[in-house]
Amino acid sequence: MYNIDEVRKQFPMLNNKKMQGKPLVFLDNASTTFKPQRVIDKMNYYYTEINSNSHRGDYDLCYLVDNEVSKARELVANFVNADVNEVVFTAGDTEALNLIAYGYCLDNLKKDDVILLSLSEHASNVLPWYRICELTGAKVEFIELENGRVTVKTVRKAFEKQRNVKLVALAAVGNVLGYAIDVKGITKVVHEHNAIMVVDGAQSVPHQVTDFKDLDCDFLTFSGHKMCAPNGVGVLVGKKELLDKMSTFHLGGGMNVKFFPSGEYIPSEAPIKFEAGTLNIPAIMGLGEAVKFLHELGMENIHKHDEELFDYAIKELENCDDIVIYNKDSRNGIISFNRKGVFAQDEATLLNSKGIAVRSGQHCAKMIDEVIGAPATVRLSTYLYTTKEEIDAFVNEIKNGGDILDAYFFN
Amino acid sequence: MPISLTNEMMRAVIMDHSSNPNNKHLPKGDGYEKIHMHSDNCIDDIDVYFKLDNDKVIDSCFEGVACTISLSSTDIMCDLIKGKSKKEALYMIEQYEHMMHEEPFDEDVLDEAIVFINTSKQAARIRCATIGWNAAKEVLKDRK
């Protein structure tokens, strides 16, 4: 296990920051995470030492930049156990999912084909598919949930009910309730029916070991900023044979071999053909550094830390009579709850007044109310640097209760 | 309403308007204009209704889901805007906005709305405290 005090020292945002005049307790890591100094330094190194473009120059700086981008791609590929040429850099998880929608589905789906989703998906794993349905005449159907979860059984049931399923897109870990799905088991069912399995890894890849080859899913997407990497970079991992067949979404410089006055063009090989325009090179370099950092800490350790904090927080929260917890057994660094009779947003504002950052609302999963029967929740989410003391500070404020208007009148 | 109100009194006013809003109902009758308002960072999703007669706001009410601050601030806006001319109403809204952003404002026209003077302490909730007021501004701005 890593030394959490030593780890925290590496994060400028954990260095005695205050919010509302109180020590900052950041419990909104499912939304975004802090960056260690070495990631910030890596980006600064680009801007201050090797600022130039990739694939576009004959001078030394470009050579250094190309090496850095290649190195980052290797690091990411190793991190999720994929081949280097299966890793596409995108602007984030959202762009990666849109790339699959427009690059793969637009060519391969037709009227009356079915895309299977769950009601607990984030907007980024719903709306691109809705758009594809508008464009192709395909339709989205929802997998029934079992106690709020997608299981191998519920997926089998969905396949029994629906013919023509061509694609299944599910979050490996949900962003509201934090339930993990059996990606490997579900992928097997999806493949038995000759459909494509898309895994939204936004909440799973930062928190647990991910083995793309072992999971056998067709596509995996995730964002850098939720795993200590810079904002504005994400990854699409796709099986090489699918990436080769897939159309490009963005076209422009850097992704083509040649183009002619006739209107024809020859795209580069995957993954380069998907990376049109100037890449977000400093963020890609930062992502590589973040992946190295996570690897050094050990993803097993990070996951174990999440589980320990989850169990600790649940045990404490269960003693609070007026707190309703929606996911007591998900153990993935996310706890969604409400105080009886209090709007989630009001509770979050009260916590803000105590220096505690949590998220309230539907967390971009705007169909989740159908699953949990509440219009909104307060969400606490931890990461590798969250301490038991921070959970204590949070639980103390929850136990203290207090009038939600204290946030406005007692400061 | 004087600014010398104690904190306790201001809290009581906010809680009263959120627990028992006077104006949270659908319009009783015809001739209302509806403005739909929603927030990206809060649960607030409300329809605000205004009945106007030439230059004057005759009635205002609202319906929907909203947090404590949105509920009470919209309810107070509905109370205060009734009977006001467009000019008076827009002046009041402008003063309310100044108060939200800690700028000098004319407290004489804000009456009970003065209870939201501390909203800037929770800047993320300014949107909630102004959502109903923005609906009023929208309905009035294009009217001659």
Q: Do A349 and B122 touch (CB under 8 A)?
A: yes
Angle at B10 between CA B7 and CA B15, to 5 degrees: 125
Q: At what angle do helices B68-81 and B126-141 cross, to 10 degrees?
A: 30
Across the interface, of B7, B43, B122, the residue whose CB is closest to A407 is B122
Find the mean pLDDT for residues B101-107: 94
Residue tagged 């509770």 (tokens): A347
CB A152 within 8 A of CB A186: yes
Task: Look up residue A63 and give its amino acid.
Answer: Y
Helix, strand, coil abundance in chain A, percent, nearest 5 = 45, 15, 40
Query: b/e for A236-259, b at 16 or more Cβ within 10 A?
Result: bbbbeebbeebebbbeeebbbeee
Question: How is A30-46 classified by DSSP, letter by letter?
Answer: TT-----HHHHHHHHHI
Domain residues for B107?
A: 7-141
Positive/negative CA dihedral, B107, B109, B114, B120: negative
Give the phi and the psi of residue A397 in degrees, each rounded to 5: -65, -35
* The pLDDT value given to residue A151: 96
The catalytic site residues of A sit at 364
The pair of structure tokens assigned to A174 is: 């949900």
Return d(Cα B56, Cα A62) in angstroms, integer: 68
* pLDDT band (50, 70, 90) for residue B144: low
- Residue B3's pLDDT is 54
CB < 8 Å to A403, chain B: 11
CB < 8 Å from A in window 13-42 of B: 14-15, 41-42
φ and ψ of B126, to 5 deg: -60, -40
Q: Is the CB of B4 inside 8 Å of chain A's CB atoms?
A: no
pLDDT per position as a tens digit, B41-83: 777 889 999 999 988 999 999 999 888 999 999 999 999 999 9
Q: What is the pLDDT of residue B1?
A: 52
Q: Do B67 and A343 touch (CB under 8 A)?
A: yes
Residues 6+ apart with CB under 8 A from A88: A96, A99, A235, A236, A237, A238, A243, A270, A271, A274, A275
Residues of chain A with CATH 3.90.1150.10: 4-31+298-409
Q: What is the 3-state secondary structure (H, E, C) of A288-355?
A: HHHHHHHHHHCHHHHHHHHHHHHHHHHHHHCCCCCEEECCCCCCCCEEEEEECCCCHHHHHHHHHCCC
The CATH code that applies to domain A40-296 is 3.40.640.10
Contact B50, B33 (CB under 8 A): yes
The one-character DSSP state at A218 is S
Establish whether the linkage from the previous residue to A271 is cis, with ω within 30° of 0.
yes
Is B42 domain-assigned? yes
CB-based contact B15 A405, cutoff 8 Å:
yes
A345 at the B interface (CB within 8 A)? yes
**A409 reaches B (C-beta below 8 A):** yes
For residue A31, give the nearest of B67, B41, B120 by alpha carbon.
B41
Residue of A nearest to B9 (CA): A409
How much is the pLDDT for B65? 87
Q: A4-31+298-409 sits in which CATH class? A: alpha beta
Distance CA A362, CA A343 (A): 12
| Residue of B10, B43, B122 lying closest to A353 (CB–CB) | B122
Tell whether A355 lies on the interface with B, counting CB pairs under 8 A: no
Look at residue B58 and tell me if it is in a domain: yes
Q: Read off the CATH number of the domain in which B107 is found.
A: 3.90.1010.10
DSSP state at residue B53: E
Which chain A residues are Cβ-neighbours of B118 within 8 angstroms?
408-409, 411
B10 touches chain A (CB under 8 A): yes
Question: What distance in Å separates the CA atoms of residue B39 and residue A368, rounded to the nearest whole number?
Answer: 18
Check if the beta carbon of residue A236 is closer than 8 Å to that of residue A99: yes
Q: Give percent helix, percent strand, percent coil of chain B, each to the nearest 5.
A: 50, 20, 30
Give the mean pLDDT of chain B.
91
Residue A4's φ and ψ, nearest 5 degrees, are -65, -30
B7 CB neighbours in chain A (<8 A) are: 409
B43 lies within 8 A of chain A by CB:
yes
ipTM of the modeled complex:
0.75
A362 interaction partners in chain B (CB closer than 8 Å): 43
* Nearest residue to B13 via CA among B110, B88, B123, B137: B110
Contact criterion met (CB < 8 Å) for A375 and B65: yes
Whether the CB-CB separation of B79 and B22 falls below 8 Å is answered with yes
When divided into structural domains, chain B yields a total of 1
Q: Do A345 and B119 touch (CB under 8 A)?
A: no
- Residue A410: predicted pLDDT: 65
* Secondary structure tally for chain A: helices H, strands E: 16, 17
Residue at B45 is within a domain: yes
pTM of the model: 0.89
Q: Is residue B2 part of a domain?
A: no
Question: How far apart (Å, rounded) are the C-alpha atoms in residues A206 and A220?
Answer: 13
> Looking at residue A192, what is its pLDDT?
98
Chain centroid to Cα B42, Å, comes to 17
Interior/surface letters A40-77, b for 16+ CB within 10 angstroms, e for the rest: eebbebbeeebebebbeeeeeebeebbebbeebbebbb
Residue of B nearest to A377 (CA): B43
Instruction: Please report, in tens digits, the pLDDT of each residue of chain A (411 residues total).
Output: 999 999 999 999 999 999 999 999 999 999 999 999 999 999 999 999 999 998 767 888 998 999 999 999 999 999 999 999 999 999 999 999 999 999 999 999 999 999 999 998 999 999 999 999 999 999 999 999 888 899 999 999 999 999 999 999 999 999 889 999 999 999 999 999 999 999 999 999 999 999 999 999 999 999 999 999 999 999 999 999 999 999 998 999 888 888 999 999 999 999 999 999 999 999 999 999 999 999 999 999 999 999 999 999 999 999 998 999 999 999 999 999 999 988 899 999 999 999 999 999 877 777 777 777 787 899 999 999 999 999 999 999 999 887 778 888 764
Residues of B29-49 as b/e, b for ≥16 C-beta within 10 angstroms? eeebeebebebeebbbebbbb
Nearest to A187, CA basis, from A203, A176, A198: A198
Radius of gyration of chain A (CA): 22
- Hey, which residues 79-118 in chain B have their CB within 8 Å of chain A? 118
Phi, psi at A352, each rounded to 5° = -60, -40
How many CB atoms lie under 10 A from the CB of residue A188? 15
B67 with A346: Cβ contact below 8 A: yes
Of A344, A376, A409, the CB nearest to B118: A409
- Cβ of A409 within 8 Å of Cβ of B10? The answer is yes
The verdict on a CB contact (< 8 Å) between B68 and A405 is yes
Chain A contact probe: residue of B125, B128, B131 with most A CBs at under 10 A: B125
Q: What residue ranges in A20-124 does DSSP mark as E strands? A: 22-23, 25-26, 87-90, 114-117
As a residue count, chain A comes to: 411
Q: Which part of chain A has CATH 3.40.640.10?
A: 40-296
